């Protein structure tokens, strides 16, 4: 699948692997030796004396291939180019030329030939003769530039190039021009692979899984604060850091945005916000987002514009509700139609609260935990400290509710990435628990939340987001889902150019199996991996049938 500006990146999946040259199309050998066994009803190309290829059918009992049927001895007139073509796999036997003089019935010319590469064949030729002695049928009119598909009776092609039927030469004007590939074929297959000799090979293109990320960003009043010597508010610093990180991968990641809290109407949440009447914890009904998830190429600008144009942050921190809405979007809303991997990137500067259905002691009241000596809400343990959440339950730490929603996201196959920025230091244990439940693995292999410190400043904030976006698209790997019989006849091509196999690291491009006995993944390494991560490539293929090209 293609993203953004037509480049491929993401998680690569090898959905099938061809084990024998000539089995899947794309072979560089024109005349492969017949196989001793087949399935009844199968057909394939075979060599002839006077034309390039004929058609060979499997015997009814599946024990062997029948004789090669070529376009001579009453086997029909020339195949017409046809006025239309069907898209898909094997189609019906279509009318070709009429039987030759003396032929008792329509021969091969009356059967649509197997498509050449590209899976194209004409569906209409000359009318078939009736009985013996009928004169040869007239050739069909020249084909037009119509969408081509797989020909009747033939194996599907593997590229978009036009091919001929095997029931005779193409009618005047040639066959239809290239169109959609036949079933089983891939777009613009690697018919020539740079770095391989003409040894007979099959290519199988890895599929990509899209990366979808919903930014769930804390817009509470504390985001208006300057952490110290940053020279700007946390909100403005966040905008700048995200601008750098998102633009670096805008063509290869799909992004969306949810801010919390968010006014359900046109009236902004006031600042300061201290009572339920102020709507401190307001969130809209339903699963509608500030910016729905879509290709970063079109969405990054809109997301940055929303952050830039949003009214000053205000209100509380309804994290659990925001995460619940994120799951509703991905599972029940418009996000349910997204393909590929799905993530939530939670960014917060403090404790989750805004759950008026709970109560708490002074030890988990965020007003007390964040209070300062001399304030009306003293920290726990201070003389004369009282529970400021006794009459304000919405200020209680809602760690349990937040953890429940992250677990629900995980159960739905959605990982949560957690970033804590200055102001969240008191809640490190909670953020670590959130990240563990979220299940996202960092580049260093660990699982935990990303901490941005006051001392690290804006640079650390920016670098954190760059690290996360890099980790989201690190996939220089191909998952192997079917057994490969001979591991020494496997190569990997990036944009149809061979990458050698090797276990060493360094500056040279190379690939290796994760396990040399029973591999489950092919891992690509070297500078080409950086290109895959940051820019994307058009295609990655496994190439089976030629001796492995080794790094040397």
Residues in a beta bridge with 551:
none
State residue 78's pLDDT score.
36
Contact by Cβ (8 Å): 535, 547:
no
The domain 210-355+398-472 is placed in CATH, from the list 2.60.120.200, 3.40.50.10860, 1.10.132.10, 3.40.50.410, at 3.40.50.410
State residue 537's pLDDT score.
78
Count of CB atoms situated within 10 Å of the CB of 297: 18
Residue with tokens 């729905």: 292
State residue 474's pLDDT score.
53
Write out the two tokens for 373: 């000596």
Q: Cα–Cα distance between 451 and 457 in angstroms, integer?
A: 11
> In this predicted model, what pLDDT tens digit does every residue of 214-234 receive, in sequence order?
999 999 999 999 998 899 999
pLDDT over 80 at 117, yes or no: no
Residues in a beta bridge with 521:
479
Spell out the SS3 assignment of 310-351. Answer: CCCCCCCCCHHHHHHHHHHHHHCCHHHHCCCEEEEEEEECCC
pLDDT over 90 at 131, yes or no: no
Q: Which residue has the higher pLDDT, 44 or 303?
A: 303
Q: Is 531 left (phi over 0), alpha (psi -120 to 50) or beta?
A: alpha
Q: Which of 3-7, 289-293, 422-426, 501-505 has the lowest mean pLDDT?
A: 3-7
Quickly count helices (H) and strands (E) in the chain. Answer: 8, 17
pLDDT confidence band for 18 (50 / 70 / 90): very low
Contact by Cβ (8 Å): 365, 389:
yes
Write out the two tokens for 536: 């994307």
Mean pLDDT of the chain: 73
> In this predicted model, what pLDDT tens digit does every residue of 41-86 receive, in sequence order?
677 777 665 445 667 777 877 777 787 776 533 333 333 333 333 3
Q: Which residue has the higher pLDDT, 71 or 329?
A: 329
How would you classify the pairing of strands 414-420 and 450-451?
A: parallel
Count of CB atoms situated within 10 Å of the CB of 542: 23
Write out the two tokens for 103: 């032929």
> In this predicted model, what pLDDT tens digit does every residue of 225-268 receive, in sequence order?
999 889 999 999 999 999 999 998 887 789 999 999 998 877 88
pLDDT over 90 at 35, yes or no: no
> In this predicted model, what pLDDT tens digit does every residue of 374-408 receive, in sequence order?
788 999 999 999 999 999 999 999 999 999 999 99
Count Cα atoms within 13 angstroms, Cβ side, for 253.
28
Q: Cα–Cα distance between 222 and 237 in angstroms, integer?
A: 13
What values do phi and psi take at 270, rounded to 5?
-70, 160
Count of CB atoms situated within 10 Å of the CB of 99: 28
Domain ranges within the chain, ordered by starting residue: 29-185, 210-355+398-472
Q: Which residue has the higher pLDDT, 70 or 199?
A: 199
> In this predicted model, what pLDDT tens digit does every residue of 86-98 receive, in sequence order?
333 333 333 333 3
State residue 506's pLDDT score.
66
The mean pLDDT value for 311-332 works out to 95
């Amino acid at each position: 699948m293609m993203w953004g500006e037509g480049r491929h990146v993401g998680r690569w999946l090898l959905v099938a692997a061809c084990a024998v040259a000539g089995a899947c199309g794309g072979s560089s050998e024109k005349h492969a030796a017949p196989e001793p066994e087949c399935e009844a009803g199968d057909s394939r190309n075979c060599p002839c004396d006077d034309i390039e290829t004929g058609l060979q059918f499997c015997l009814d009992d599946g024990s062997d291939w029948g004789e090669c049927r070529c376009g001579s001895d009453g086997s029909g007139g020339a195949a017409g180019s046809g006025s239309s073509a069907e898209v898909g796999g094997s189609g019906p036997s279509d009318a070709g030329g009429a039987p030759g003089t003396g032929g008792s019935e329509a021969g091969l010319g009356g059967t649509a030939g197997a498509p050449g590469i590209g899976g194209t064949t004409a569906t209409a030729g000359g009318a078939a003769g009736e009985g013996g002695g009928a004169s040869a049928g007239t050739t069909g009119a020249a084909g037009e530039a119509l969408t081509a598909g797989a020909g009747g009776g033939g194996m599907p092609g593997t590229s978009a190039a036009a091919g001929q039927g095997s029931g005779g030469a193409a009618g005047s004007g040639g066959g239809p021009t290239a169109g959609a590939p036949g079933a089983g074929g891939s777009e613009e297959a690697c018919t020539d692979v740079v770095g391989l000799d003409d040894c007979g090979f099959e290519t199988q293109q890895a599929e990509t899984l899209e990366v979808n990320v919903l930014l769930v960003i804390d817009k509470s009043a504390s985001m208006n604060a300057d952490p110290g010597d940053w020279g700007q508010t946390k909100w403005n610093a966040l905008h700048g850091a995200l601008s750098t990180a998102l633009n670096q991968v805008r063509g290869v990641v799909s992004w969306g945005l949810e801010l919390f809290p968010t006014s359900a109407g046109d009236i902004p949440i006031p600042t300061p916000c201290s009572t339920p009447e102020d709507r401190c914890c307001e969130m809209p009904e339903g699963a509608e987002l500030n910016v729905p998830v879509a290709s970063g190429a079109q969405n990054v600008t809109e997301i940055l514009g929303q952050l830039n144009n949003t009214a000053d942050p205000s209100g509380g921190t309804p994290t659990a509700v925001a995460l619940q809405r994120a799951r509703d979007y991905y599972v029940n809303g418009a996000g349910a139609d997204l393909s590929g991997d799905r993530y939530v990137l939670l960014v917060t500067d403090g404790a989750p609260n805004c759950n008026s259905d709970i109560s708490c002691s002074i030890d988990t009241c965020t007003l007390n935990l964040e209070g300062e000596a001399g304030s009306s809400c003293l920290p726990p343990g201070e003389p004369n400290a009282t529970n400021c959440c006794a009459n304000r339950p919405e200020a209680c730490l809602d760690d349990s509710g937040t953890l429940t929603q992250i677990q629900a996201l995980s159960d739905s196959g959605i990982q949560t990435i957690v970033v804590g920025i200055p102001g969240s230091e008191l809640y490190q244990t909670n953020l670590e628990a959130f990240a563990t439940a979220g299940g996202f693995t960092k580049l260093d292999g660990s699982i935990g939340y990303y901490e941005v410190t006051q001392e690290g400043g804006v640079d650390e904030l920016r670098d954190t987001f760059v690290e996360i976006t890099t980790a989201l698209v690190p996939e220089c790997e191909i998952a192997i889902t079917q057994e490969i019989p001979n591991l020494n006849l496997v190569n990997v091509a990036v944009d149809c150019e061979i990458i050698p196999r090797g276990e060493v690291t360094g500056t040279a491009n190379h690939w290796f199996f994760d396990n040399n006995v029973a591999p489950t993944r092919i891992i690509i390494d070297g500078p080409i991996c950086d290109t895959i991560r940051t820019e994307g490539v058009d295609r990655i293929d496994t190439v089976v049938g030629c001796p492995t090209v080794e790094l040397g």
